[in-house]
Amino acid sequence: MTEGIQNGSIPKSVFDDVSALLRKRMKGITEPVRIREGELASQLGVSRTPVREALIRLESTGMVSLQPGKGALLCPVTDKDYVEWLQLREQLEGFATREAALNASQRDVERLRAIFEPFMTEGGAEAEQDAYGKANVSFHKEIIKLANNRLLNRVWDAFGHTQTTYRRQTIKRLHRSSNSLREHLAIIDAIEQRDAGLAETLAKEHVRALYKAVMQSLSEAGRLA
């Protein structure tokens, strides 16, 4: 793997690899965990310098906390983090889905439908909730990609650890699989019809429904500040 640093930045491949490793480590943690630069560098086959620069960049996303004299800490996603992300995500996905409706080819539409093909039998989404959670993440990433907006992609990637619906198992915990599938299919229909306004509205309503379900769940659990 090339690790050379050019113009004060690290290769995207190194940054992506560091991000991927840390996202895997975030699964299940509830308290900050120490990150060892040397261990990451060894796993990736690079020196510690590009790893250190990747950690500095990741600090801006909230995934990592850099503390003078103490090194880097991997920070779990809190309820507050997730709720704030959903509020922002409603606007981002509304825009992304509107653009997707204007940009998507029929092949793109077919690819979106294929994501949910395994769950189209009655009760399929509920029966395979873990697999559906992964499909959900793939769908939303694809919508962002179809928006064809580089800045939007950068924002989405930067906060990808926060919008980890699959890792937090939000859909599964809230028993939203069937509703989620129905909402996704309606969004795909709007994209196929090239109805940008409807696609945007449906996308916002989709995220807002998840936000309301999360808030209700947190309230019932006594976890709202």
Angstrom distance (rounded) from CA 119 to CA 188: 15
Averaged pLDDT for residues 170-179 = 71
Query: What φ, ψ does residue 42 adopt, rounded to 5°?
Result: -65, -40
pLDDT band at 8 (very low <50, low <70, confident <90, very high): very low
Helices (H), 37-118: 37-44, 48-59, 79-103, 106-116
pLDDT in tens, 103-161: 999 999 999 999 999 999 888 787 788 888 889 889 999 999 999 999 999 888 877 65
Cα–Cα dist 118/111, whole Å: 13
pLDDT at 61: 80
> What is the pTM assigned to this prediction?
0.76
Instruction: Give the torsion through C-alpha atoms of 135, 153, 59, 79, to 10 deg.
Output: -40
**Cα end-to-end distance, the chain, whole Å:** 46
The domains located in the chain, with CATH, are: 12-74 (1.10.10.10), 79-220 (1.20.120.530)
pLDDT of res. 109? 98
